Amino acid sequence: DSGVTQTPKHLITATGQRVTLRCSPRSGDLSVYWYQQSLDQGLQFLIQYYNGEERAKGNILERFSAQQFPDLHSELNLSSLELGDSALYFCASSSGTGWTTNEKLFFGSGTQLSVL
């Protein structure tokens, strides 16, 4: 068990809908990362937050947004969903700030999103 909790484990929805994925980082970790894993794109970095502030942005679509709350949990919001958004979405946390390298990421078990 990595200590990172993601809910829900599975999510089935329809095109055009909006969903929210939730992540609770390991106790004490201030950085939260979101990754998307699909069969054709592999594991893609989406966005990182540190202590409530956006720290780095990767291949995140404009239809997607995220935030980190004062209690450090994070939510990833996916809107106007398309079939191609079906993927496994992982949250990871680390104890670092994200400004330095050598920060090990601890991943949750992921949320499997299926857009029908």
Partner 1 sequence: GESVGLHLPTLSVQEGDNSIINCAYSNSASDYFIWYKQESGKGPQFIIDIRSNMDKRQGQRVTVLLNKTVKHLSLQIAATQPGDSAVYFCAENIEPNNNDMRFGAGTRLTVKP
Residues that bind partner 1 (CB under 8 A): 2, 4, 31, 33, 35, 42-45, 48, 55-56, 58, 90, 92, 94, 96, 98-110
Cβ of residue 57: shortest distance to partner 1, in angstroms? 9
CB atoms within 10 A of CB 82: 12
Cα separation, 57 vs 45, whole angstroms: 8
Q: Which is nearer to partner 1, 39 or 70 (CB)?
A: 39
Q: Which is nearer to partner 1, 52 or 79 (CB)?
A: 52
Cβ of residue 80: shortest distance to partner 1, in angstroms? 25
Phi, psi (rounded to 5 degrees) for 52: 95, -10
Q: What is the secondary structure of 5-25 as a DSSP string?
A: EEE-SEEEE-TT--EEEEEEP
Cβ of residue 16: shortest distance to partner 1, in angstroms? 28
